[in-house]
Structure 1
Amino acid sequence: AKAQKAIRNDHAIQTYIGKHQTPLNSKTPKGDVDTPLKSQENPKGVPSNPNRGLTFVVENLGMPRNSAMQNARDFESGTTGAFSEIATRQRQVPALRYDNPNPNGAPFVKFDGYQQLDNGVIELIDSKTRIVPFSTREGPFISPSVRDGLVRKSEALSQNSGYRGVIELPTIEARREAQQVLRKLGITNISTRVRQ
């Protein structure tokens, strides 16, 4: 196995596209490959900051426990740019690298899909069926897991230029709830929209 690994890892960094990278621009000059990391590389092809740029990671979803989880998974599967590897049938998701202030946390945040816009910006899409703020006497309550996930995504986007975040939802009501949560958290670099 070690010998095979050594053989397979013997490649030029600038021209190799690993399973975690994908060409985004078909209009690159011959011999050059435009990857999500290309704009962040120094002349030797090494990222100037390893905690910047886009990569793709496996997302192990497991079996859905109920119909609501299955509906959410089906909605995520319809996200622009969502895909699974043919050989393994495992979902690959875009993950934006960043400097995580939590030393025990992952140095990236995952999204469900992506697309490159006409202006070159890469839009990272997070698909949610709902983000519900629970009503309390003190006002809307946002669960810690939802709050932390949105704050991490916002921080990663603020550390990476050339990317923007959007949450796609199935209905106008779900979008209104998501906007309320984003306002409550003071997050302005993630927008919302209803999937068409």
Structure 2
Amino acid sequence: MAKYDKADLERRMRGAVEALRHDLSGLRTGRANTALLDSVQVEVYGSHMPLSQVATVSVPEPRLLSVQVWDKSNVGPVEKAIRSAGLGLNPINDGNTLRLPIPDLTEERRKELAKLASQYAEKARVAIRNVRRDGMDALKQDETKKEISEDERKRAETDLQKLTDEVIKAADEAATQKEKEILGK
């Protein structure tokens, strides 16, 4: 195991929060958001490609997404990919453009999405705690190798715990914010 590196541990923890924010951005809130289609993979030219590589997604109205497909021959596969993505969206084909009206979320669906947001947050908290554990293990090893004293290890462990608490708080705030958006509060 490598020596204790607080900067690397902080980078990894903050990375978990960024991954959480990315996951949360894909959850529907009843408002149009281009990030909603980030996970859509389209089968074109014999391979799977992200939607962003075959079309431009925009938000012309608060409850409407517009997908401008660059190559007319790909409109069908893009429409199929959006329908089968499990987002509950039904594209309206206007030739080269697909219009995606964002339907109102039912109360039941809002609760499911809020639950999913809290699951994403829990996954992020686990990842952050795993990084903390790696740091604690590195500190113990450094102490065993006589590279740091017991007092230095304890001080660093306290710092690491403060950092962990701070990053988990950021993850919780991101999830809480998303849950409020989903539930319409």
Higher strand share: 1
Higher helix share: 2
Superposition TM-score, scaled by structure 1 size: 0.24
Which structure has the larger Rg over C-alpha atoms?
A: 2
Superposition TM-score, scaled by structure 2 size: 0.25
